[in-house]
């Protein structure tokens, strides 16, 4: 199910799915990002994510989290999940993340 459908349909109070960028309050989202991703609550990254959220551009908030979380693999701001593509499906986020964190399995590792 693409992000647009997940965002449009939403999640009920007892559901364990949905888009955290749409469902969480700014305070809860900040807490989630600091605890789950180790971001500083006053960082520019958090500010960017909250600004995208304020504009209801949840896919860009998610893309920003992807970029921040994958800096250690060389992903830069504005790069997205590849070739400036923003996150449009949870599976795309996972696939891009897996490819970065498991390059040998994906056949992208460079021989030494």
Q: What is the mean pLDDT of residues 44-56?
A: 95
Q: Is the pLDDT of residue 27 over 50?
A: yes
Q: Supply the pLDDT for residue 107.
A: 57
How far lies 5's CA from each of 1, 15, 37, in Å? 6, 15, 25
Q: Report if residue 110 sits inside a domain.
A: no
In this prediction, residue 18 has a pLDDT band, given cuts at 50, 70 and 90, of confident
Number of domains in the chain: 1
Q: Supply the pLDDT for residue 111.
A: 45
Q: What is the mean pLDDT of residues 51-68?
A: 95
Range of the domain at 44: 19-103
Q: Is the pLDDT of residue 89 over 90?
A: yes
């Amino acid at each position: 199910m693409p992000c647009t459908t997940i965002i449009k349909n939403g999640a009920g109070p007892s559901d364990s799915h949905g888009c955290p960028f749409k469902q969480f309050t700014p305070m809860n989202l900040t807490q989630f990002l600091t605890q789950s991703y180790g971001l500083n609550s006053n960082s520019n990254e958090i500010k960017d994510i909250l600004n995208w959220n304020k504009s209801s551009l949840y896919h860009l908030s998610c893309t920003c989290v992807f970029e921040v979380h994958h800096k250690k693999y060389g992903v830069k701001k504005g790069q997205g999940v590849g070739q400036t593509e923003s996150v449009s499906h949870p599976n795309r986020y996972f696939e891009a993340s897996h490819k970065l964190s498991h390059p040998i399995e994906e056949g992208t590792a460079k021989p030494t």
